[in-house]
Amino acid sequence: MERYFVFIATFMLILHLVQAQDPTGFINVDCGLPLRESPYNANPTGLAYTSDAGLVNTGKTGRIAKEFEPLYTKPILTLRYFPEGARNCYNLNVTRDTNYLIKATFVYGNYDGLNLDPNFDLYLGPNLWSTMNTNDTIEEIIHVTKNDSLQVCLVKTGISLPFINSLELRPLPRTAYASQGGSLKFMFRRYLSNTDRTIRYPSDAYDRKWYPMFVEGSWTQVTTNLTVNASNLYDLPQDVMTTGATPRNPNATLNITWTLESPTTKYYSYMHFAELQTLGANDTREFNVTMNGKSQYGSYSPKPLKTQTIFDITPGQCDGGACLLQLVKTPGSTLPPLLNAIEGYTVIDFPQMETNEDDVAGIKNVQETYGLSRTSWQGDPCVPKQFLWDGLNCNNSDISTPPTITSLDLSASGLTGIITQAIQNLTHLEKLDLSNNNLTGEVPEFLANIKTLLVIDLSGNNFTGTVPPSLLQKKGMMLNVEGNPHLLCETGSCVNKGEAGKKKKSIIVPVVASIVSIAVLVGAIVLFLVLRKKKASKVQGPAPSYKQASDGRSSEPAIVTKNRRFTYSEVMTMTNNFQRVLGKGGFGIVYHGFVNGTEQVAVKMLSHSSSQGYKEFKAEVELLLRVHHKNLVGLVGYCDEGENLALIYEYMSNGDLKEHMSGARNRFILNWGTRLNIVVDSAQGLEYLHSGCKPPMVHRDVKTTNILLNEHFQAKLADFGLSRSFPIEGETHVSTVVAGTPGYLDPEYYRTNWLTEKSDVYSFGIVLLEMITNRPVIDQSREKSHIAEWVGVMLTKGDIKSIMDPSLNGDYDSGSVWKAVELAMSCLNPSSARRPTMSQVVIALNECIASENARGGASREMDSKSSIEVSLTYGTEMSPAAR
């Protein structure tokens, strides 16, 4: 199976070539460099380096010991070390949503005379990047920024002090080195040459460092003095691509091995090829690519003096952590395999989201306004939790959403001036304590506009004027303004004794009394319900585990089968206490887990606030326990214990189709052939529900978010909570309350309440149009907001290009596309009787695939920029060794 992707694009790369000529966006920081020596041009690159002053607020400067200086050049000679605080961070201004190559250099050089082995952690934002435990290392990562700033943090973990010599950032093309999840940690980058020269900027436009690799006696050097066209997305240096190696034995394989830190580590590899020899009329160089004996790509022939890059589309793993890459000569080839260069990266997941961007901007404005220089106020304000900024409390209970700042305590912090307006940007703030400072001016009315803010302590300051009525009248507000002698509450002083003092107290007491009363009342109700439940259990025996009148469960029979049933404690164990969130839907949050410690699963927990209840839960469990098909997500088990309801599915590592079409999951564009394979899989799943089940089933909620993809991009239908069956023989429809998703909902079903399998056909037609156009189902900015109406209008113009996803750049068989569009529109016929069956849809889609596969030519072979037809597995930190 082909699992690699070849990249040779030329006409799209003018922008990248311009960037290569001018390193716009490079960030070069010499850590510890005195300001008087900044900036300077470093040898041999000529790049301008600047001091780190202003990028970090803590630390001290140092220099490696004299005996080590001859071994290094700037910017390695100086360093910054951090004797104070647990976490110290650099704050770098970057361009949002940019793919950066980030390098951090650490050379101990016995700068402190202690001869201590380094031992500290390196963080990127709130996530662990690496652990430093060697005296001389470069940490390199390819990472896409989410915000306009980036924090690189050093965290003390032992007796040695964290230090750093240099920080370097280089922007890369947005789609280069793209991963389906996580960032890419450098493993190796080698060019096949018998020299000892390291190649970097300016030879390499992105300042990647290329190290030579060669095996004397086993490999033969191949070179050329001619120019190699290296104009593809990876823009390889000429010095890299004008050399290569072949096996000395013309019938031997070219082998490269490397070892991963863990058998579960995932990796990506990038192989760069160009034919450097002039081949005779009867000469052929053709070979296959295998990994650990399994065919990955082939047969392949390098292009004369033209760079091509073969890379894996999806990350993979090597059995036992040992990787053996082989280039194997085909029987028809007269020449041995040739390789010019190879790169390897491991996937590093950064699960912790950064704090809400607006909250971060707000708290930093507060910090700047009041000149706060607390050591802990570095890096992300809320996460990791052990580095929470002093005086803050945050809500980070749901790791699928950014943490938010809920409490700010700046009491006795020496604050002067007025209350800064920056506080109003903390829109999730619940408690604000500015007591015992020297704040002046009026109490601002904007505090009343922070909807979540319920506790404000302004006591012990020098405020003047009148407390805004909106604050006094805010329902549930607890306001303390004691100790502000010149502050008035409406008509009187807020703080003086006597009547004014009573007014002051009246601001707090009624609210507190109300809260206490409510708490007592709630406690009494809870106690009453508990006692009643105990009494009922004694009289009636064991009660149902989940009784909520709102979902009608009390009248529902228990789930028929007890197979594959898990306890709630088992669910907690398999999810590691719900540590990793995969997604969120109408049912609740979906968590990652393991059954028996090895089988990956997705665990969907029913939220108590979910619009779906026990009926939908029961329907989905009973359906999936009796139906089995390769294109339906398999049910591993379920939990039905008290208020804890969970569905445990097989794990679909590539998420849902909507994520891939929108670009939220990765930066690849699904090519047309891959899209057709996905919709065929989905259609086969629906066909089974309609024709293979007894009684037949209607899904009722077919949409791109309910089509999941596994590691091989095989599609499976999910979310069967709304599914309905036709239990009566010969029944053509079921009369039911309308359910489904706006935009996908069959208008005939909506109008008549008559549900048939053709309602699924309509929804599938919408999915097919999404695959074709890659446009939203409903877009109010269009002349025709609904996708079916918009496509209908565009069809009248007879131009398929106006409908087809423009990001595919015409790389598809137009006949295949026309057939798919006609099929989609027939699925959307207003009359359900005139729509095709799912069996007919499957046949038509297979004809589309046959037409697309029959397309020949270079564009098919190279698959421009998107092919996700393949899935490979990989993973860490060791250089490749020739074999």
> How is residue 25 annotated by DSSP?
T
Mode of pairing for the β-strands spanning 565-566 and 635-641: parallel
CA distance 875 to 261: 8
Structure tokens at 672: 């047309």
Mode of pairing for the β-strands spanning 341-348 and 267-273: antiparallel
Structure tokens at 854: 């029959």
Give me the half-sphere count of Cα atoms (radius 13 Å) on the Cβ side of residue 477.
22
CA distance 382 to 402: 10
Structure tokens at 282: 């009867």
What string of H, E and C letters represents the secondary structure of 726-785?
Answer: CCCCCCCCEECCCCCCCCCCCHHHHHHCEECHHHHHHHHHHHHHHHHHCCCCECCCCCCC
SS3 692: helix
Nearest 5°: the CA angle 447, 452, 457 is 50
Question: Are residues 304 and 331 in contact, defined by beta-carbon separation less than 8 angstroms?
Answer: no
Handedness of CA 627, 631, 633, 634 (dihedral sign): positive
329 is in an annotated binding site: no
Q: Has 701 been annotated as catalytic?
A: yes
Question: Are residues 453 and 476 in contact, defined by beta-carbon separation less than 8 angstroms?
Answer: no
Longest dimension (CA), the chain: 109
Residue 383 burial (10 A CB sphere; 0-12, 13-18, 19+): buried
Alpha helices in 413-558 (DSSP H): 469-473, 499-540
CA distance 180 to 123: 21
Beta-carbon contacts of 71 under 8 Å, excluding residues fewer than 6 positions away, are none
Structure tokens at 326: 């082989």
DSSP string, 335-376: B---B-EEEEEEEE---SPPP-HHHHHHHHHHHHHHT---TT
CA distance 578 to 825: 43
CA distance 642 to 544: 8
Annotated catalytic residue within 640, 681, 701, 746:
701
Handedness of CA 34, 40, 44, 46 (dihedral sign): positive
List residues forming the annotated binding site for ATP: 604
List residues forming the annotated binding site: 604
Catalytic positions: 701
